[in-house]
Amino acid sequence: MAFFEMAKTAIKTLVQRPATIRYPAESAKKTEISRGHVTIDESRCISCGSCQRTCPSQAIVVEKEAKTWQIDRLRCVVCRACVDVCPVKCLFMDTQYTAPMVTRSTETVMITYVKPVKPPEKEEGKA
């Protein structure tokens, strides 16, 4: 009896489409709960470092002086904590398909945000 069950399953799998996809030749499936990957709008980042301090896997490095934001995608566990903590909401999860990484490398983004110049305070008594 078990033999017939096994044979039935084997024949069924021969005629059905495979349950898996040929990733990375085919794009990974995207669903409503797909997390995607962390992306930054570098024109809004204020180099506060909150994302770096919050990241549980030390995947992000923010260099205030050099004006760089770096992410090591092989360290990122896609928890989304950095996105939630960013005070200016310049981090978001992008669900667009990207090719898989084949070598370890850190992605560096130059922060282009320019701090607005504070207008000089008026001296008292002057018009």
Q: Which residues sit at the interface with ligand SF4, rule CB under 6 A?
A: 38, 40, 45-51, 54-57, 59-60, 62, 69, 71, 76-82, 86, 88, 90-91
For residues 110 and 41, the answer to whether their CB atoms sit within 8 Å is: no
Smallest distance from ligand SF4 to CB 80, Å: 5
Smallest distance from ligand SF4 to CB 90, Å: 5
Beta carbon nearer to ligand SF4, 6 or 77:
77
Smallest distance from ligand SF4 to CB 1, Å: 50
DSSP assignments along 53-113, one per residue? HH-TT--EEEETTTTEEEEETTT-----HHHHH-TT--EEEE-S--PPPSS--EEEEE---
- Distance between CA 25 and CA 95 in Å, rounded? 18
Count CB neighbours of 6 within 10 A.
10
Beta carbon nearer to ligand SF4, 7 or 77:
77
Beta carbon nearer to ligand SF4, 7 or 111:
111
